[in-house]
Structure 1
């Protein structure tokens, strides 16, 4: 593992791939960033992984990443980390599973199907991860901040 130092560089090549150049001048083509704790601590710890899955650089804190590199990292993470955030539950077909939920997310309204109550998992504190029948993950950052109707629907399944 290589701690980030000013001699390291991160840039895109002519094909749009991320390239990490370490302090020795070795280019690692096609690297990708990975958050250490994407849900519970998204701003602490990002590793730059090569195509074999080996870490070539470690950023202990997002705030310490140079601005130009952070832009590249955030672009790459946005493409890789697709996890809509549930803001409201508007309708539930039945209080038994399987059930169909109409929800509003940070990406717009949608409908999901829950196979079982085990598809709702507590991650940390009041943070929930909900998996629909297609395997797509949805996040509720803080279940205590949902509106009254959403909490009522959710309580029936927990």
Structure 2
């Protein structure tokens, strides 16, 4: 069942997202922001203006009309960059800083872990690892890693 949408979403000639509210006021440069980007990315998305004020709330991403969903999804994809770790192939050592050679959903990568505090638990099995350049890597389910990867990771947890 589709939720009632009381606004219009379009892109302007500059590629920016434009929300027209029910009063006919156009808000240019609208930014979608997920409430729970990792644990529940399809629930609770706010459409905010350039000043950070919420213009609209999307309870469930799947309830949006298809054309709006495509616009919001493409805007989110352009803003969100978080490679997902699939495998840890090698670490330079078990003290930090250490260099990790990993395989992600976007291909092979190398990250430098400055300290154990840069590994954050999100849920019982998911982690976010921040490298020395500030790039966040998501490990969605550490129990799903191969044995070698789990063994290397366990030295840092």
TM-score past 0.5 threshold: yes
Question: Is the CA contact 1:86–1:138 (under 8 Å) kept in the aligned structure 2?
Answer: yes
Q: Specify the alignment match of 1:25 in structure 2.
A: 24
Q: Specify the alignment match of 1:62 in structure 2.
A: 61
Runs of at least 5 residues in structure 2 that lack an aligned partner in the other structure: none
Q: Specify the alignment match of 2:97 in structure 1.
A: 98
Question: Is the CA contact 1:5–1:23 (under 8 Å) kept in the aligned structure 2?
Answer: no
CA–CA distance in structure 1, aligned partners of residues 6 and 130 of structure 2: 42
CA–CA distance in structure 1, aligned partners of residues 121 and 14 of structure 2: 40
Q: Specify the alignment match of 2:75 in structure 1.
A: 76
Q: Specify the alignment match of 1:128 in structure 2.
A: 127
Structure 1 position 10 matched with structure 2 position 41? no
Give the direction of change, closer, same or farther, for the CA distance of 1:24–1:5 in structure 2 (3 Å limit). farther
Q: Specify the alignment match of 2:143 in structure 1.
A: 144
Q: Specify the alignment match of 1:115 in structure 2.
A: 114
Q: Specify the alignment match of 1:154 in structure 2.
A: 153
CA RMSD of aligned residues (A): 0.9
CA–CA distance in structure 1, aligned partners of residues 77 and 66 of structure 2: 16
CA–CA distance in structure 1, aligned partners of residues 95 and 152 of structure 2: 11
CA–CA distance in structure 1, aligned partners of residues 5 and 41 of structure 2: 23
User: By how many angstroms is 1:30 displaced?
Assistant: 0.6
User: By how many angstroms is 1:24 displaced?
Assistant: 1.1
Corresponding residue SS for 1:19: strand
CA–CA distance in structure 1, aligned partners of residues 91 and 6 of structure 2: 54
Runs of at least 5 residues in structure 1 that lack an aligned partner in the other structure: none
Q: Specify the alignment match of 1:34 in structure 2.
A: 33
User: By how many angstroms is 1:5 displaced?
Assistant: 3.7
CA–CA distance in structure 1, aligned partners of residues 23 and 6 of structure 2: 8
The alignment of Structure 1 onto Structure 2 pairs a total of residues equal to 155
